[in-house]
Structure 1
Amino acid sequence: MLEDMQLRGMAPSTQEAYLRYVRQLAEFTGKSPDQTTDEDFRQFFLALHKVRGLSRSSATVAIAAFKFFFEITLQRPWPRLDLFRPRPTQTLPVVLSVDEVWRILDHIYRPTYYACLATIYTCGLRISEGVNLQVSWIDSARMQLQIRGGKGLKDRYIPLPLRTLTLLRRQWRTHRNPVWLFPAGPRAGMQHHTATAPISPCGVREAFRDALNDAGVSKNATVHTLRHSWATHLLEAGVNLRVIQLWLGHRSPSTTAIYTHLTRKAEELASGVLDTLSEGMQ
């Protein structure tokens, strides 16, 4: 299965997630996953729902993993896994104000983590894109940041704010690694400038959680909230939704359209229009 995913150029994070669910299925049933029955799947998903409160998005990943395993690796029909997908929910992502974002980031005390999280926010990146940024992806002449191999293995360009460029240059001068903007910390026999891998997303998430608490922000925010907030702030500033879609790397405009429900300025404008419509009321 791993070889099949590698041949199709699937993202490492997708490969890891797919293998994790197939491995969990084998551990749950106590048998090889190719011997799994429909009842095994039923009990497995019941356990996921009862014990872990499986979300719809996680269920979708699990179903995709088993579909790939059966149809591609085993070359045989797969069970009716759609029966195990929860109903869609109408939830909106958490959004931070600009002030809240910088209050949180002001409590990031390690310069590498601060530079990474500030770049994630000011460029609207996913955490995997942020930690894996490479020196060669910065185009200072055009003031653009190139993202290579993003979600769906798609490349895209994002405007690079001058302050962010200055921050990244200052960060790079602390280690001068020829490849990574955020190289992993020194280990035995290895320094930052010779690191062959970037920092771990886990460390970035932990630093953000600590800063969130230290800043006294009560919202249930994560690193990904910075990306949601960036898109919402752009929309509130009047940036075209289609442009935001391209910068985010969304395939469908409907995915980006969720941010229209999160902008206070849009609601205020709509309320003003409603007041105008009611002016003739006796």
Structure 2
Amino acid sequence: MTPLRQAMIDQMDLRGLAPKTQQAYLQQIKELARYYHRSPDLLTDEELQAYLLYLIRDRQLSHSSCRQAVHALVFLYSRVLQRRLPRMALAHPKRDQKIPDLLYPDEVLALLQHFVRPKPRAAAFLAYATGMRISEVSALQVQDLDGVHNRIKVRQGKGQKDRYVLFTESLKQNLRDYWRAFRPESYIIYGQYKNRPLDSKYLRLDMKAAAQAAGISKRVCFHSLRHAFATHQLLNGMPLPRLQALLGHKHLQTTFRYLQWVALMDVARNPTEDLLCGLGRAA
């Protein structure tokens, strides 16, 4: 490991950057050094701006990827090398406002019924019942379950913030069956060893397989269960600020998009009184 890389890691640790953010920043700096075949501390301001143009024009990276590169550069030069950078030009195109393929309750139940392996099925159950992200489901531990107060603690979710989510009776019943079969001691959805979580790639693969087996032609990923939780809770009348707290959104506007998506759903397919999350019927 080069001294510069170690210095950057040290500064990221001191400022509490999340592991995934650190990994992304280090990869961006590695790509920069590979492009010029020189150490980044030897590059000029003009070369840095030219590299950014290369990312935009030649590699045609998305705006978010280019922005991440800029953040990595700013961190390296300002925090590690103590060098002031000129403002680097970066276009700010409007983001595409794409609506994901939303799942109806009957489609979610079909998915749950077509999981072959019990661990990914339990993980999917958790995601739909609580709205947790795949990383949060994977990191969930036995000590985080509070059945007495009907809540689950999500530790260090996105933005390194703790929050609580719902622990419904139907979810408890489903986990009891899972508990009897697997007896988790540390991580609830564990892999080969009980002290290590199941790799999230298996959750994604099983989700795709379940969607195919259920005959669902929509674009489905594990995050679709979080979208389903949010839209179904709104259809059941949950107030928007309450949903914001459960999802862990910093800004209400982020949660508001679900309200906009719900307005576009064909709710005639599922009468309001049937939009229950359906967990009891799937268990």
Alignment correspondent of 2:10 = 3
Partner of 2:100, secondary structure, is: coil
- Identify the range of structure 1 (2-11 vs 113-122) with the bigger mean alpha-carbon deviation: 2-11
Structure 2 residue ranges without an equivalent (≥5): 1-7, 268-283
Partner of 1:204: 203
Is the contact made by 1:94 and 1:228 (CA closer than 8 Å) also made in structure 2? Answer: no
CA distance in 2, matches of 1:263, 1:84: 32
Counterpart of 2:4 in structure 1 is none
Which moved further from structure 2: 18-27 or 125-134?
18-27
User: For residue 254 of structure 2, what is the aligned residue in structure 1?
Assistant: 255
**Counterpart residue number, 2:238:** 239
Question: Does structure 2 retain, via aligned residues, the 8 Å contact 1:42–1:84?
Answer: no
Aligned mate of 2:71, from 59, 64, 74: 64
1:167 to 174, 183, 191: 174
TM-aligned CA deviation for residue 157 of structure 1 = 0.6
| SS class of match (1:153) | coil
Aligned CA RMSD, in angstroms, stands at 2.5
Moved more, 110-119 or 217-226: 217-226
Out of 90, 98, 123, the residue aligned to residue 91 of structure 1 is 98
Q: Which structure 1 residue ranges, 4+ long, deviate > 6 Å from structure 2? A: 265-268
Counterpart of 2:128 in structure 1 is 121
User: 2:39 aligned to 32, 40, 44, which one?
Assistant: 32
Q: Which amino acid aligns with 1:171?
A: Y
Within 1, Cα distance between the matches of 2:182 and 2:15? 35
Distance 1:104 1:177, change over 3 A: closer
Distance in structure 1 (CA, Å) of the matches to 2:12 and 2:211: 37
Q: Residues 18-29 of structure 1 correspond to what in structure 2 (within 5 A)? A: 18-29=25-36
Aligned with 1:158: secondary structure?
A: strand
* Range with bigger deviation, 76-85 or 229-238: 76-85
In 2, Cα distance between equivalents of 1:81 and 1:163: 53
Contact 2:49 2:89 (C-alpha < 8 Å) held by counterparts: no
Alignment partners' CA distance in 1, 2:117 and 2:266: 38
What is the alpha-carbon distance in structure 2 between the residues aligned to residue 144 and residue 178 of structure 1?
19
Q: Which residue of 2 aligns with 1:107?
A: 114
Residue 56 of structure 2 contacts residue 66 of structure 2 at CA under 8 Å; is this kept in 1?
no
Q: Deviations over 1:51-89 (max 9, x none)?
A: 765333333333322222222222222353451554433
Matches for 1:141-156 after TM superposition, within 5 Å: 141-156=148-163
Identify unmatched segments of 5+ residues in structure 1: 186-191, 269-282
The number of equivalent residue pairs is 261
Please tell me the residue identity of whatever aligns with 1:118.
F
Checking the alignment, whether the CA contact within 8 Å between 2:152 and 2:166 is kept in structure 1 is yes
Q: 2:247 is aligned with what amino acid? A: L
Matched, 1:225 2:224: yes
Of the structure 1 ranges 20-29 and 202-211, higher mean CA displacement relative to structure 2 is found in 20-29
Cross-structure match for 1:177: 184
CA-CA distance at 1:40 after TM superposition:
4.2
